Amino acid sequence: MNFISRLIQKLNWHTLAAPILVIMVLAMLIIPLPTFLLDILFTFNITLGLIILLVSLYMKRPLEFAAFPTALLLTTLLRLSLNVAAARIILLHGQNGPGAAGQVIESFGQFVVGGDYVVGIIVFAILVIINFVVITKGAGRIAEVSARFTLDAMPGKQMAIDADLNAGIIDQEEAHRRRSEIAQEADFFGSMDGASKFVRGDAVAAILILFINLIGGLIIGIWQHGLSLSTAAHDYTLLSIGDALVAQIPALVISIAAGIVVSTVNTGQDLGKQLIGQVFQNREVMTIVAVILAILGLIPGMPHLPFLGAAALLGAVVWYGKQGKAPEKVVEPPVGGVEPEEVTWASVEPLDPLGLEVGYRLIPLVDKGQGGELLARIRGVRKKFAQDFGFLVPAVHVRDNLELRPTAYRINVKGVEVGGGEVFPDLLLAIDPGNVLGKIAGTPTTDPSFGLPAVWIDKEERDKSVALGYTVVDPATVIATQLHQILQSHGADLLGREEVEGLLSHLASRSPKLVEDVIPKMLSPDKLKKVLQNLLNEGVPIRDMRTIVEILAEHAPQSQDVDELTAAVRTALGPYIVQGLFPGQSELPVAVLDGQLEHLLQESLRNSNGEALEPGLAQRVLEKAGDLMQQMEAGGMQPVLLAMAPMRTFLARFLARSAPRMRVLSYAEIPESKKIRVVATLGA
């Protein structure tokens, strides 16, 4: 007994409800039922129908009753099985009178239609027409149209979710929930479209079952039991009508529920609140209707009491609504014109730190439903940048822009265009790295990331282009690669106070005492941000935040100058910087300043306080630096210029425009384990 009780406690009755109902339906088709059990099941059928109707009335959106299509099928099967069980009892025991099939059928046959089987047939026919022609047909049409529109809208909804996820408006969990809700919505309306066919079939089956019971009852009553024609017609007709009505009324209730479910608009309110709030909220309409009813009630020959009573009731509703609503303040418009609409902070849209705008032909690249991979590539770029440079850049807000050419795109940093180009969704970009073996047919262009010559080719030409030495990439990769380049060159612009706080929080989780002692006691967060921005401006990753903060803690008491603090951090990070520029090399090929130029620069910096160079000298140095950068790159070397520590910062900023890929290092940043090999000299 203890084992059985524990087993019963462990059983999940929620999971057993549907199997029990299906087994019960199948059993009723085969096993004869006693009349008292048939009464209980008919009562259960009516109760279930009313529960489903009320649930549909109180739901706020269709997906709250996602099980309705299955419930519709099960209740239809339950009604049909009850019809079969009742038909068996009627044909076997109908000679015993109207009570032979139980009290529920007898009550519907006697009380509902007054014991008149002709009236019963007419009432049943009207119910079937209402259910079959009006409610079921309309609900089925709504479900069909809703299913089509839901499926057509899925790509746009999926794209909106991906855009919000990529922009950081929602997290991965919320995006998964929304995608699941869209899929459930499509499945729901598709199931409702099919389930409505069951209700229509149920109405047809009810008509056929009624006539089968009538004809079969007359034959059995007259030929087998010797009843007179009038007695057999009276008894079997009342039994058949009672059975038909007791099944058809719940069917009508379920059909009404189906119509309510598929026609409900998602407003966040149940049906009752929607109707009361939208139908009776306009007092002017209510007043006009009350006046019309009062006029009709005063016309001679019209029923005065119903019309005047309805007019009085509507008038009371209007009066009560006025009393319950606070009086509105009347604001006089300003002299000389109408007061303009109030402008609030909600009217100011913040700029996206990082944005990507695409033409309408590039929308498939960001739509997962159409196989677009750009959003996944963008997430990969952000992850790669975070791993390389040590902080997470803001999410990329992707949107379409009808002002762009259909195949164009634009990358913005804080609302300013910093990159862009044109890609073709149906083509591939074959980039010439400089050593191709031949030409390829296509549309000539330039790679937007590195400025290399390239050709837009058909997808069928991929293998041929690769064999000739071209680097072939798809349009999504073209955009993602340029975005990665922009992140590297604009990392300092994307490092804001929020990102610095995130870096400090991440460091505090591992070294809480270090952060507590340094920030903000020894160095303010703004000074730390400027130091980090200086490092990023010169392509130095800030992954080693522990070392950076420790060096700042050593030097902050002596100086708060951002450039001096940056130089101290660079010296400490020297081995890491050199390793990034010369991976795996023990001998470093570098360029150095010509002795005469170095002397001139020292004198110029000393005389101008480090702020300016003589214009002619500056122009010659910039030209030479640009040529030197190209020569070193052509020789397969990383363009690196070695200078004395006092002039390193000035040279790095000075050469940034003419030689953007030239890295300027000081002698103090070179580890002792590395050897220097001078391969070029920068002179004026």
The torsion region of residue 226 among left (phi > 0), alpha (psi -120 to 50) and beta comes to left
Q: Strand 471-473 to strand 428-431: parallel, antiparallel, or no bridges (unpaired)?
A: antiparallel
Q: Which CATH number fits the domain that encloses residue 646?
A: 3.40.50.12790
Q: What HEC string does 546-589 produce? A: HHHHHHHHHHCCCCCCHHHHHHHHHHHCHHHHHHHHCCCCCEEE
Do 664 and 617 share a domain, yes or no? yes
Report how far residue 394's alpha carbon sits from residue 396's, in angstroms, rounded to the nearest whole number.
Answer: 6
Antiparallel, parallel or unpaired: β 471-473 and 640-643:
unpaired
Confidence at residue 610, expressed as pLDDT on a 0 to 100 scale:
47
User: DSSP E strands: which ranges in 280-366?
Assistant: 354-358
What tens digit of pLDDT does each residue of 128-183 get?
777 767 777 777 777 776 667 666 666 666 666 766 666 556 677 777 787 777 77
What is the count of structural domains for the chain? 4
Helix H or strand E segment including 422: strand 416-422
- Partners of 422 in the β-ladder: 408
Determine how β-strand 453-457 pairs with β-strand 443-446: antiparallel
> Is 464 found in the same domain as 372?
yes
- The whole-angstrom separation of Cα 455 and Cα 428 is 8
Is 511 among the domain residues? no
How high is the pLDDT of residue 559? 85
How crowded is the C-beta side of 267, counted as CA atoms within 13 Å?
A: 13
Q: Distance (Å, rounded) from C-alpha 8 to C-alpha 240?
A: 41
Q: Could you list the residue range(s) of the whole structural domain that residue 634 is in?
A: 583-684
Task: Determine the residue type at 637.
Answer: M
Residue 169: its pLDDT value, please? 64
Do 107 and 167 sit in the same domain of this protein? yes
Residue that is last in its domain, among 465, 492, 519: 492
Phi/psi at 302 (nearest 5 deg)? -85, 155
Helix, strand, or coil here: 458?
coil
Q: Which of 580, 550, 579, 575 is CA-nearest to residue 565? A: 550
Q: Is residue 11 part of a domain?
A: no
Domain assignment of residue 510, yes or no:
no
- My answer on whether 399 and 450 are in the same domain is yes
Is the pTM of the predicted complex or chain greater than 0.85?
no
Q: Quick check: is 240 in a domain? A: yes
Contact 362, 411 (CB under 8 A): no
366 in the same domain as 314: no
Q: Cα–Cα distance between 320 and 318 in angstroms, integer?
A: 5
C-alpha dihedral (573, 574, 579, 582), degrees to nearest 10: 150
Domain membership of residue 287 (yes or no) is: yes
590: part of which helix (H) or strand (E)? strand 587-593
Find the helix or strand (DSSP H, E) in which 454 lies.
strand 453-457
Q: What is the pLDDT of residues 37-87, one digit of tens each?
A: 877 887 888 888 888 888 887 777 777 777 777 777 777 778 778 878 877
Question: Which residue type, as a one-letter code, is found at position 204?
Answer: V
- Output the domain CATH number for residue 395: 3.40.30.60
Which three-class secondary structure state does DSSP give residue 600?
helix
- Is there a contact between 354 and 395 (Cβ–Cβ < 8 Å)? yes
Has residue 349 been placed in a domain? no
Task: Specify if 566 maps to a domain.
Answer: no
* Other Cβ atoms within 10 Å of 357 Cβ, number: 21
334 upstream amide cis, omega within 30 of 0: no
Burial bucket for residue 455 (CB in 10 Å: 0-12, 13-18, 19+): buried
CA–CA dist 92, 220 (Å, integer): 8
Give the SS3 label for residue 680. Answer: strand
Q: Token pair of 259, please? A: 């119509």
Q: Which helix (H) or strand (E) segment is 536 a member of?
A: helix 525-537
- Do 57 and 194 belong together in one domain? yes
Give the residues of the chain that fall short of pLDDT 50.
1, 4, 7-8, 326, 328-331, 337, 610
What DSSP line would sit under 427-451, residue for residue?
A: SEEEE--S--SS---SEEEE-TTT-
Q: Which helix (H) or strand (E) holds 410?
A: strand 408-413
Domain end residue (candidates: 468, 492, 516): 492
Q: Are 249 and 37 in contact (CB under 8 A)?
A: no
Bridge partner list, 431: 454, 471
Same domain, 310 and 424: no
- Read off φ and ψ for residue 420, nearest 5 degrees: 165, -175
In angstroms, the first-to-last Cα distance of the chain is 102
C-alpha separations of 652 from 205, 218, 535, 538 in Å: 88, 107, 11, 8
Look at residue 539 and give its three-state secondary structure: coil
d(CA 254, CA 46): 10
Considering the domain architecture, whether residues 129 and 49 belong to the same structural domain is answered as yes
Query: For residue 334, what is the DSSP state?
Result: P
Structural Rg of the chain based on CA atoms: 41
Place of tokens 């209402």: 130
- C-alpha distances (whole Å) from 254 to each of 28, 132, 248 are 21, 12, 10
H runs (alpha helix) in 390-524: 462-467, 475-489, 491-494, 497-508, 512-518
* Domain closes at, from 473, 492, 511: 492
Please state, as a whole number, how many other Cβ atoms lie within 10 Å of the Cβ of residue 548: 24
Kindly state whether residues 234 and 130 are assigned to the same domain: yes
User: Does residue 169 sit in the same domain as residue 26?
Assistant: yes
Residues 247 and 192 in one domain: yes
* φ, ψ of residue 556 in degrees (nearest 5): -60, -35
CB burial of residue 236 (10 Å; 0-12, 13-18, 19+): buried
DSSP state of 444: E
pLDDT of residue 410: 92
Which string of b and e fits 62-81 if b means at least 16 CB within 10 Å? bebbeebbebbebbbbbbbb
d(CA 327, CA 309): 29
Residue 245: closest CA among 96, 121, 78: 121
φ, ψ (nearest 5 deg) of residue 122: -65, -45
Has residue 55 been placed in a domain? yes
Q: Which tokens go with 609?
A: 């306080």
Q: Decide if 531 contacts 565 (C-beta within 8 A).
A: yes
Residues 54 and 179 in one domain: yes
Question: Which residues does 195 contact at the CB level (< 8 Å), separation at least 6?
Answer: 68, 69, 72, 73, 143, 258
Listed residue (122, 256, 137) closest to 200, CA to CA: 137
